[in-house]
Amino acid sequence: MSQSESTPKKTQIATGDRAILPKGAKTIPIFIMGKQYEVPETLTIMKAMEFAGFQFLRGAGCRGGICGACPTVYRMPNDYKIHFGLACQTVVEADMYLAQIPFYPANRAVYKLEDIEARPDMINALYPELFRCVACNNCTKACPMNVDVLGYISALKQGDIARAAEISFDCIQCGMCASRCMGEIPQYHIAQLARRMYGKYIMPKAEHLQKRVDEINAGKYDGLLEKLQKMSHEELEKLYKEREREPDLAPNGTWVPQDAQYL
Amino acid sequence: MGYTPELKELIKRVEATRPKRLEMARKGENFPALTLEERAVVLEKFHPDYQKEGRRPVKTGPDKGLVLPEEVAMLLESRSMLRPEHVKLDKVDFDTDVLVIGAGGAGNSAALLAADAGCKVIMVTKLRHGDANTMMAEGGIQAAVHECDSPFYHYMDTIGGGHFTNQPDLVATLSHDAPLSINWLEGLGMMFNKHPDGRLVSRHFGGSSRKRMNSAGDMTGAEIMRVLRDEARSRSDQISTIEFTPAVELLIDEEGKCGGAILYNMETREFFICRAKATIIATGGNGRLHIKGFACTNHYGATMDGVVLCYRAGVGTTCMWSTQYHPTGVSYPEQNVGLLITEKVRGLGAHVLNVEGEQFCFPLEPRDVESAEIIKEALEVGKAVLTPTGRYGVWLDSPMIDMLHGEGTVRRELPAKFIQFERHGIDISKEPMLVYPTLHYQNGGIAIDGDCRTVIPGLYSAGECTGGVHGENRLMGNSLQDVITFGRRAGIVAAQYVNSGVEVKKLTMDHVVKYEKELAEAGVENPVVAPILLPDYSTDEVASRRLLQVQGMLEAE
């Protein structure tokens, strides 16, 4: 290999949000709400719809698979199954037949977290429809995040809030579970309540944090921060260079720095 | 799917050097970090912010003459979508104590704290409640919560990471309030990663002297956003949230105070007058302007709306020339291009490697330095991997994480990333990832003081749309802390202002008339209409057909 080949300096770099299409890429037909469009293969549904000329108002959000704005249902030829995916994460396939469901109504119970306790009967009272679950598992099948929705609903029916909170953690609240539920349950709202109950009342409190909060409120660092704001660039730079670095493998709360004057 | 045979062949080189690198890591040895002098050299030569082309002085407004990226300057020299002479300002549609513009991390925090202080709040957003960059922040949130740490070191790391260009009062507020913010979120029921005794799990990050990165899985921002949104919904007696309805112009009363904004329902194309005693701008960043053509990690709505509204009303900016390029955006597979690989991957010990499988930089430099080093390895050294779609990439050796911390760590600590790559046939606990710098964060923005005040009475701002707290370079985990700390402050301070007794006088759009006159005098021809609200990613072919249609309509008028 010659020098010039091993240093590809003149290579054109892809720019912006429109994907560079691989060499020799061909187009494929997809059906957006029943209407055919030709789009390049390898694109996500979202980028393919934009390629076709759609500009999203609803149906696009983070474009990175975490906000729940772009749930999409689709079918494939010769396949009885209904498929679910996020438009920003699912790659188009030939003859895919799709529609977005950017919003699905689901009732959220009215509560104030500070007025309730982490008790299963509290959840049951706020969401009595929980017991309409027939364990059909359609919710789990519909989840684009592979959350075990039936798993957390079952955990809640058994009164295990902690387990429901852990299982539901990846939920992006897109509403696909609720759209498929035979029992008409608003799963993702119930999971939200369970996680907040768990975070506030069941997980152990960070006591060292409370201590730090008390110190701050007592004004312990006010003088120090006042002084820092008036420091010259040179003084700051000197202190910056002198900082000790906490060792990588030191467990939290164990390392004691040599210099304790700023703690 | 997965890696191509050619890339799989290259991965063997990574695997060949791995045992030795693991041995180093277990001994706590690192590839040497750059000195401050060496950092300056690599930044000057390779960081896009330091290069001259694509920048020019802005022609109008409070920062006239300031050299900014073309994409930013153009939007600051924009005109309103409203014709002031046709707007009836005496017919008020909404009347409130506090108007919050933007419903992300900062907006929701502000709304909640203003409500706590007894105010009636309207929170408007152009997309859904919670659609914001906050939702996408993965790695964590900084706060000096452990005994070996203190606000002093948070201040020091932040201002050093920002090359000492940060606004000191903002850094002081950030480091002072950070533990209070975490405490508040804990009380709202956020599921932080904790040790069995309740101690927060905190990690190192680029530019840290102490382990200060607190997290919730690898979806810290999403967890914050879910909790804040749920709490705001619980408070609907005080907080009305209006979706798909951005503010498109501020209203200034005849005494020069901010008196609310004009809202625009994007679904019905109606305009509404909203009168408010205090207004808080929390509209987020500008990644969707795609400065210099870079891919970006941002939310669909990141179009700099708040900066545009404020600038037109006479509020200048701080550090607006500075944009953050995150060192590790995805460069393969094509479907994930531009998306972020959290710094936590490097915090957990993954090395950054060239095509030979060799380390060429300390993996936890501040982000701008790390980005510049990766660009250097591609452009000057010529040892980057070239992907099948013509993109540069360097390896991020994620399999090291399980080897260092035990099997299952990747799956547990980086669940969202794991799923995202698994969808495309790549198991990141066994195969490394290909990454390259991507446009990530608006470092600069609306000029505020430590209490979120702008120069206009009654107008406050918080979060990514503001500038100064991060200087010219933001450290990981300071953005989430920024939105919570300053969002809370803005809510508190705005409520104090309202509760002190404010009377909004006759509303005007005189500032818009004045600014458009200035544009004409400066010779800005055909200024763009802004805020642009949403980007348009249709192809040139589709766009050209639309343009014909639009021109036809104009001629018909």
Using the Cβ of A159 and the Cβ atoms of chain B, whether some distance falls under 8 Å is answered with no
| Cβ distance of A243 and B209 shorter than 8 Å | yes
CATH number for the segment(s) A27-100: 3.10.20.740
The reported pLDDT for the residue numbered A17 is 63
What is the pLDDT averaged over residues B505-519?
Answer: 98
In order of their start, the domains of chain B are 5-30+325-439 (3.90.700.10), 84-322+443-508 (3.50.50.60)
Strand pairing report for A35-40 and A27-32:
antiparallel
Is a pLDDT exceeding 60 seen at residue B179? Answer: yes
Is a pLDDT exceeding 50 seen at residue A60? Answer: yes
| Cβ distance of A208 and B337 shorter than 8 Å | no
Compute the count of residue pairs across chains A and B with CB atoms less than 8 Å apart: 284
Degrees (nearest 5) of the Cα angle B251, B458, B125?
A: 60
**Cα–Cα distances in Å, from B537 out to A7, B300, B340?**
33, 11, 20
Please give the residue that has the higher pLDDT: either A222 or B206: A222
Distance CA(B114)–CA(B99), nearest Å, equals 10
pLDDT in tens, B226-260: 999 999 999 999 999 999 999 999 999 999 999 99
Degrees (nearest 5) of the Cα angle B396, B399, B403?
A: 135
The reported pLDDT for the residue numbered A6 is 39
The reported pLDDT for the residue numbered B524 is 96
Q: How far does the CA of residue B454 sit from the closest CA of chain A (Å)?
A: 20
pLDDT in tens, A203-225: 999 999 999 999 999 999 999 99
A240 CB-side CA count, 13 A: 23
Using the Cβ of A65 and the Cβ atoms of chain B, whether some distance falls under 8 Å is answered with yes
Using the Cβ of A24 and the Cβ atoms of chain B, whether some distance falls under 8 Å is answered with no
What is the pLDDT averaged over residues B327-344?
Answer: 85
User: Of the given ranges (A182-186, B378-382, B548-552), which has the lowest mean pLDDT?
Assistant: B548-552
Chain B residues with CB-CB distance to A207 below 8 A: 198-199
As a residue count, chain A comes to 263
**Cα–Cα distances in Å, from A116 out to A119, A125, B103, B187, B237?**
8, 11, 26, 13, 18
In a 10 Å sphere around its CB, with 0-12 CB exposed, 13-18 middle and 19+ buried, how is residue A149 labelled? buried
Catalytic-residue membership of B346:
yes
Q: Where are the beta strands (DSSP E) in chain A?
A: 27-32, 35-40, 71-75, 83-86, 97-100
| Cβ distance of A205 and B198 shorter than 8 Å | yes
The reported pLDDT for the residue numbered A79 is 96
Selecting among B163, B326, B391, B511, the annotated active-site residue is B326
Residue B50 pLDDT grade (very low, low, confident, very high; cuts 50, 70, 90): confident
Q: Do B108 and B229 meet the contact criterion of CB atoms below 8 Å apart?
A: yes
The CATH 1.10.1060.10 domain(s) of chain A lie at: 113-202
| Cβ distance of B200 and A209 shorter than 8 Å | yes
Residue A21 pLDDT grade (very low, low, confident, very high; cuts 50, 70, 90): low
Backbone φ and ψ for B163, nearest 5 degrees, come out as 55, 35
Q: How far does the CA of residue A182 sit from the closest CA of chain B (Å)?
A: 25
User: Of the given ranges (A131-145, B42-56, B152-166, B331-345), which has the lowest mean pLDDT?
Assistant: B331-345
The reported pLDDT for the residue numbered A11 is 44
Is a pLDDT exceeding 50 seen at residue B224? Answer: yes
Distance CA(A153)–CA(A191), nearest Å, equals 8
Nearest chain A residue to B417, by CA? A65
Nearest to A248 among B192, B204, B386 (CB): B204
The reported pLDDT for the residue numbered A5 is 38
| Cβ distance of A66 and B222 shorter than 8 Å | yes
CA nearest neighbour of B298 among B142, B116, B438: B438
What is the pLDDT averaged over residues B336-365?
Answer: 92
User: Of the given ranges (A132-141, B48-57, B66-75, B102-111), which has the lowest mean pLDDT?
Assistant: B48-57
Element (H, E) at B326: strand B323-330
Is a pLDDT exceeding 60 seen at residue B474? Answer: yes
Distance CA(B70)–CA(B268), nearest Å, equals 32
- 319-338 of B, contacting A, C-beta below 8 A: 334-335, 337-338
Distance CA(B339)–CA(B297), nearest Å, equals 5
The reported pLDDT for the residue numbered B162 is 94
Distance CA(B218)–CA(B347), nearest Å, equals 12
Q: Where are the alpha helices (DSSP H) in B64-143?
A: 70-76, 105-116, 133-136
Using the Cβ of B186 and the Cβ atoms of chain A, whether some distance falls under 8 Å is answered with yes
Nearest to B131 among A9, A69, A111 (CB): A69
A113-202 to CATH, choices 2.120.10.60, 1.10.1060.10, 1.10.3470.10, 3.30.1300.10: 1.10.1060.10
Is a pLDDT exceeding 80 seen at residue A130? Answer: yes
Distance CA(B281)–CA(B308), nearest Å, equals 11
User: Most A CBs within 10 Å: which of B154, B230, B404, as the mutation test of the A interface?
Assistant: B230
Residue A69 DSSP code: -
Nearest to B156 among A54, A210, A240 (CB): A240
The reported pLDDT for the residue numbered B552 is 52
Nearest to A244 among B209, B211, B219 (CB): B209
Average pLDDT along chain B? 94
pLDDT in tens, A227-251: 999 999 999 999 999 999 999 889 9
Distance CA(B549)–CA(B555), nearest Å, equals 10
| Cβ distance of A243 and B153 shorter than 8 Å | yes
- Name the CA radius of gyration of chain A, rounded: 26
Catalytic-residue membership of B351:
no
Selecting among B275, B346, B367, B489, the annotated active-site residue is B346
Using the Cβ of B267 and the Cβ atoms of chain A, whether some distance falls under 8 Å is answered with yes
Q: How far does the CA of residue B165 sit from the closest CA of chain A (Å)?
A: 9
Whether ipTM tops 0.85, in short, is: yes
Chain B residues with CB-CB distance to A250 below 8 A: 211
Nearest to A66 among B148, B153, B416 (CB): B416
Strand pairing report for B94-101 and B270-281:
parallel
| Cβ distance of B202 and A252 shorter than 8 Å | yes
Is a pLDDT exceeding 80 seen at residue A194? Answer: yes
Strand pairing report for B433-442 and B323-330:
antiparallel
Q: Do B205 and B140 meet the contact criterion of CB atoms below 8 Å apart?
A: yes
Using the Cβ of A221 and the Cβ atoms of chain B, whether some distance falls under 8 Å is answered with yes
Residue B551 pLDDT grade (very low, low, confident, very high; cuts 50, 70, 90): low
- Cα dihedral B333, B336, B339, B344 sign: negative
Is a pLDDT exceeding 90 seen at residue B467? Answer: yes
Nearest to B131 among A13, A61, A222 (CB): A61
pLDDT in tens, B259-301: 999 999 999 999 999 999 999 999 999 999 988 777 788 999 9
The CATH 3.10.20.740 domain(s) of chain A lie at: 27-100
